[in-house]
Amino acid sequence: MITSASPDSKTVTYLDVLRNRNFALLWMGQSISLVGDIMFMFSINWLILEKTGSALQVGGNLLVTVISDVVFSSIAGVLADRWNRRRLMLGSDLLRGGLVLALAIALGLTPFSIWYIYITNFFLTSISSFFFPTYQAVIPGVLDREALVTGRSLTISTARLLQALGSALSGLLIVAFSVEWGIVINALSFFISALTIFLAQIPQATAPSQKSLTIATLLGDVLEGWRLIRESMVLASLFLLFTLGDFGAAFTWPVHVVFAEKVLKGGPQLYGYLASVSLVGGFLGAFFVGRYNKWFKKHAGLSYFLANSIWGLFCILFGLTSSIPLALVYRFAIGWSLSMIHVPISALVDVNTPDSHRGRVWASIIMGSSVASTVSIGLSGLIADHWSARASYVIAGVILLITALVSFGLPRIRNARIE
């Protein structure tokens, strides 16, 4: 655990958190893995659009991922609080790496089939459902409360920067070689992440359940996670905001590639540049949060309201523009605002959840977001195919502005502090 002075006497720096070997290993592994993820999704989405020409088919790929989240998240949260977290994360990465590598081989040796992609993504996300609640539960175990904002800021800022480079390279990679290369790189990134987890010392849950795992105890553990959220005004409010915010955000997910090609009349390079500039904005936004972490600790709820307002406004402007330079500016602002949202709100979940229940709480939040995203993605794909990708961005912006107003109307969130 990192020890540091109180927030009033010292600002925790990135160097402070990187002195923690376990956090540094996890940070490095996940940053590399996220680069692979962005190259994978970029390559897969472009392949689907190239082969089918349909935003609804692209949305279908996203839909199978959120459906698997809904199915497995609650179970995964229970196991994250019961099982050895290090082994769970390590096994997940090795399985995901093997699965993605198998997809690359299948696409390279057999005729294209959309079902290869859908089935692979379903199982890939199913395994990820076990990884991410566990990873979220682990971070507060390797960092103390004073370092949480800085640690999460560093994780997001470096990931955004590396993902920006990955997005730009993905477009060039597709033009110069083929989409299979982006898939292979993602497989390698999972294996690298597994190595960093193997080298790290990761704590188990503070008080894992001593009951044997049966259907009855599994159901009881799942319900206990939901009970904790229901009985905590802060966690219930955060659950609502995560769900509503992701419902709005998911309206844009199936149409990023469609907007770049059919509205702005660009190719894979423009798709990559738009993703890159958004991620650069995310890097600078997260760096900004880390630099002024004392303020964000004291005004976590207010920063969420401001960032969601910015996100919604620029999402609407992006959907209405036909100018590539303005589109790049708007995507930069969207990326900046996303970092200002994710860092404080994630830290609020951390400090308001007992370690023994953290896996289940994060899994429940992910499940709520996944259900909302499932509906949103389906609606967005239909709207983009029958009207325009512009409408999806405008609808997303309106929902995000509503989410901002809801957060401001909840006193426990508006006045929330991380100290």
pLDDT of residue 190: 93
60-74, 296-310, 381-395, 399-413: lowest mean pLDDT where?
Answer: 60-74
Query: In the structure, what pLDDT confidence band is assigned to residue 298 with cuts at 50, 70 and 90?
Result: confident
Tokens 């044997």 appear where?
A: 212
Residue 4 has pLDDT above 50, yes or no: no
Q: Helix (H, G, I), strand (E, B), or coil: what is residue 304?
A: helix
CA distance 201 to 270: 41
Contact status, residue 297 vs residue 7, Cβ threshold 8 Å: yes
What are the residue ranges spanned by the domains of the chain? Answer: 14-414
| Mean pLDDT, rounded, for 97-117 | 84
CA dihedral 50, 387, 322, 327 (to 10 degrees): -70
Q: Which two tokens stand for residue 398?
A: 């309106």
Q: Which two tokens stand for residue 77?
A: 């949260």
pLDDT of residue 5: 36
pLDDT of residue 409: 93
For residue 89, the number of C-alpha atoms closer than 13 Å in the C-beta half-sphere is: 30
Contact status, residue 365 vs residue 238, Cβ threshold 8 Å: yes
Amino acid at position 161, single letter: L
Residue 312 has pLDDT above 90, yes or no: yes
| Mean pLDDT, rounded, for 63-85 | 75
Residue 370 has pLDDT above 90, yes or no: no
83: DSSP letter: S
**Structure confidence by residue, pLDDT tens digits, 144-195:** 777 877 887 787 777 767 766 776 676 666 666 666 777 888 899 999 999 9
pLDDT of residue 273: 79
20: DSSP letter: S
The sign of the torsion formed by the CA atoms of 228, 234, 236, 242 equals: negative
Question: Which class in CATH covers the domain with range 14-414?
Answer: mainly alpha
CA distance 335 to 85: 31
Residue 237 has pLDDT above 50, yes or no: yes
pLDDT of residue 47: 80
CA distance 238 to 35: 28
pLDDT of residue 213: 63
pLDDT of residue 195: 94
pTM for this entry: 0.68
177: burial class by Cβ within 10 Å (0-12, 13-18, 19+)?
Answer: exposed
Tokens 């940053």 appear where?
A: 31
Closest CA to 235 of 372, 346, 149, 79: 346
Query: In the structure, what pLDDT confidence band is assigned to residue 205 with cuts at 50, 70 and 90?
Result: low
Query: In the structure, what pLDDT confidence band is assigned to residue 197 with cuts at 50, 70 and 90?
Result: very high
Selection from 154-158, 177-181, 218-222, 397-401 with the highest mean pLDDT: 397-401
Query: In the structure, what pLDDT confidence band is assigned to residue 404 with cuts at 50, 70 and 90?
Result: very high
Query: In the structure, what pLDDT confidence band is assigned to residue 211 with cuts at 50, 70 and 90?
Result: low
- Helix boundaries (H) for 200-322: 215-231, 233-249, 256-258, 268-291, 293-298, 300-320
| Mean pLDDT, rounded, for 388-414 | 91
Percent of the chain with pLDDT over 90: 19
| Mean pLDDT, rounded, for 366-393 | 81
Residue 407 has pLDDT above 60, yes or no: yes
Residue 249 has pLDDT above 80, yes or no: yes
Residue 1 has pLDDT above 60, yes or no: no
| Mean pLDDT, rounded, for 365-378 | 80
Residue 110 has pLDDT above 70, yes or no: yes
CA distance 268 to 41: 13
pLDDT of residue 167: 65
**Structure confidence by residue, pLDDT tens digits, 336-354:** 888 777 777 778 888 888 8
Mean pLDDT of the chain: 81
14-23, 83-92, 269-278, 294-303: lowest mean pLDDT where?
Answer: 269-278
Q: What is each CA distance from 332 to 264, 278, 376, in whole angstroms? A: 16, 4, 23
